[in-house]
Amino acid sequence: MRPRALAAVTLALAACRPALDDGPETTYRALVAAANKGDAAGAFARLTAESQAQVKAQLAGLRAASGGSLDEDAARVMFSGGRAPPLTGLRLLKKDQDQATVGVTAGERTREVTLLRQGSVWRVQLPRGSASGPL
């Protein structure tokens, strides 16, 4: 096999591998980075499926109450508040096979955030009944 063909096959096989588990801290940092860059879709994708559905349901209720004047893009509505305060601390507090808790500090405020493993990746879980965001 020629070197170029071998390289192409190697790259194709590498692309087929499942993504490596980056861990809950990396997932949370990626969500914050995406939100701060204005990548609402990228930030929203790092929420659990349940959290995404919760935000969409709350948005649908608000949209109906507003007579349809509210933006339909849940990601854009969720992450349109501008830049979050910079993270000054992020610490893994607890990690089981499919659930983790990280301590997040931004400025003077510290809170705990739950992440769930969905498939092979970690996702941020919003508190039930909250669409205020994980930042």
Query: What residue ranges do the domains of the chain occupy?
Result: 19-125
Q: What pTM did the predictor assign?
A: 0.74
What values do phi and psi take at 20, rounded to 5?
-70, 145
Q: Which of residues 1 and 43 earns the better pLDDT score?
A: 43
Model confidence at 118, pLDDT cuts 50, 70, 90, reads very high
Which residue, chain included where needed, has tokens 């801290």?
25
pLDDT of residue 130: 60
Cα 22 from Cα 20, distance rounded (Å):
6
Question: Residue 95: is its pLDDT beyond 90?
Answer: yes
Question: Residue 77: is its pLDDT beyond 80?
Answer: no
Question: Residue 58: is its pLDDT beyond 90?
Answer: no
> Both ends of the chain: CA-CA distance in Å?
51
Question: Residue 123: is its pLDDT beyond 90?
Answer: yes
- The domain over range 19-125 is classified in CATH as 3.10.450: yes
pLDDT of residue 21: 56
- Strand stretches in 15-120, DSSP E: 87-95, 99-106, 109-118
pLDDT of residue 134: 57
